Every structure is written in structure tokens, then in C-alpha cells.
Structure 1
Amino acid sequence: MSANQITAITELDKSHYKTKVYSGGHFIYSDEPEDVGGTDEGMSPAALLLASLGSCTAITLRMYADRKNLNLDYVKIELEICKEEEMSAGTTIKRRIEFTGELTEDERKRLMVIADKCPIHKILSNPIKIETS
């Protein structure tokens, strides 16, 4: 991960829910499904949150495996977030990680520990303060 400050800009015009998202010279759309009034032309905000956790976890695992010369060929991470109406005092995200490659049981266990060390996991596992101006 870069030590630079991470920033993002989102813009929404009269396109209803289709939102433009800019960060670090990259551009994507976020949107809502048609059944809630969106155009379904981009991932929902919750899906983007899961994608951030999944991709950060995968990158962290790859960095570790490469550094330790582990025979990790492939990582698949499936994520699911609880429904909004189930969020009260907390939010549950389920994460299932599959490894492909010639790994010992100890290496697999260690990779599971390393998964929790990804920066996005750390952010989501601690209290978050959002300052709005």
C-alpha cells in the first residue's frame, strides 16, 4: 500500500442513483439495482465496500506469499454483508477464503491470520469516525 493520502471524489447529477467515483486517476460508476430505482450500471455502494475488503485481502495475501516464497497459485474470496435491516449495534461481514496451490496446513493457517492484517480489514474492525463539513 502506498503511504500517500487516499482520496476519492463522488459526483451525482440528475441521473438518479448512478454515481461517478474518481480516485487516483481512476474512474468507476456506483449505482443501485433497478428494483430500487437505479439503472444497475455499477456496483452498489455496499458491493464496493465488499470489493475493497476482498481485493485488499487478496493483495495482502499475495504480498505475504511472494515474500515467503509460498506456493500460492490462486486466492478466491467470497464476501457477504448482512442486510441493512439487520444492522443495529453492529454489522456482520462474512468472508470465505479459498487457496489453490501446494500449501501445507501450517501455511494455510498462517495465511488466514495474515488475511486479517490487510489495511481495509483493520479499518473496518475498528471504530470509524466520519467528519462531515
Structure 2
Amino acid sequence: MSSAQITAITELDRSKYKTKVFANGHLIYADEPAELGGTDEGMQPGALLLASLGSCTAITIRMYADRKEFPLEAIKVDLAICKEDQMSKETTITRKIEFTGALTHEQRERLMQIADKCPIHKLLSNPIRILTS
């Protein structure tokens, strides 16, 4: 992750729940499924959170593997978050990481350790305070 401050802007008009998300010149949409009143034209916010963790995990692993010249062909990160009614003082995210390539057992173990070094993993593993104005 860059050392620059990360910012995002979200805008929601009268288009049900379809939300525009702008960051660094990029645009994506967040939405809710039709059964919740949305238009299902974008990922649910929880999926965006998981996508952030998954992509950061994969990028961090890829950077390390490339630097160490590991024969890593591909990375798959499968994520799930507990249901909202199961969230109390602790939210559980499950993350399963699969590697493709002729990696040794030691290389696989090291890449699993590196996965926890991803900045989004670190961010989500610590208490978070949100200041709203």
C-alpha cells in the first residue's frame, strides 16, 4: 500500500441503493441485491470489504514471491464474513489461500506468513475508530 493517504468519495442519489464510489480517478459501484430493494448493479458493501482484503493479500504475496523469485503461478483467496446477526464484539472473516506453482513446503508456509503482513489485514486486525462529521 502506498504511504499516501487513501481517500474515497461515495455518492448516492435517488437511485435506490446503487452508490458511486470514486477513488484516485477510478469508479466502481456498490449496491444491494434486489431482494433488499437494490438494483444489484454493484457489489454489496461487505463484499467490497472482503475484496479489499483479498486483493491486498494476493498483491502482498505476489510482491514477496516475485522478489524472492518463488515459482508462484497464481493465487486464489476465498473469503467469507460472518452473518450480521453473529457480529458482536468480534467479527469473523475466514480466508482460504491457494497457491498454484512448483513451490516447496517451506515456500508455501512462508507465503502464508506473508499473507498476514498485508496492510488491509493489519488494519482489520486492530481496533478501528471512525470519526464522523
Common fold, TM-score beyond 0.5? yes
Aligned to 1:128: 128
Aligned to 1:12: 12
1:37 and 2:8 aligned: no
* Distance of 2:124 and 2:2 partners within structure 1: 19
Letter in 1 for 2:19: T
Aligned to 1:117: 117
Give deviations 1:6-51, integer Å, cap 9, x for gaps: 1000000001110000000000000000010000000000000000
* Distance of 2:118 and 2:3 partners within structure 1: 14
Unaligned runs of 5+ in 2: none
Give deviations 1:33-87, integer Å, cap 9, x for gaps: 0010000000000000000000000000000000000000000000000000000
- TM-score, structure 2 length as denominator? 0.99
1:22 and 2:59 aligned: no
* Secondary structure of residue in 2 paired with 1:38: coil
* Distance of 1:90 and 1:14 partners within structure 2: 34
* Secondary structure of residue in 2 paired with 1:73: strand
Aligned to 2:85: 85
* Distance of 2:130 and 2:16 partners within structure 1: 25
Unaligned runs of 5+ in 1: none
Aligned to 2:105: 105
**Offset at residue 113 of structure 1 (A):** 0.4
**Offset at residue 2 of structure 1 (A):** 1.5
* Distance of 1:125 and 1:53 partners within structure 2: 11
Structure 1 segments of 4+ aligned residues over 6 angstroms from their partners: none
* Secondary structure of residue in 2 paired with 1:55: helix
1:73 and 2:62 aligned: no
Give me the CA root mean square deviation.
Answer: 0.5
Count of aligned residue pairs for this structure pair = 133
Sequence identity, in percent?
71
Letter in 2 for 1:72: L
* Distance of 2:114 and 2:106 partners within structure 1: 12
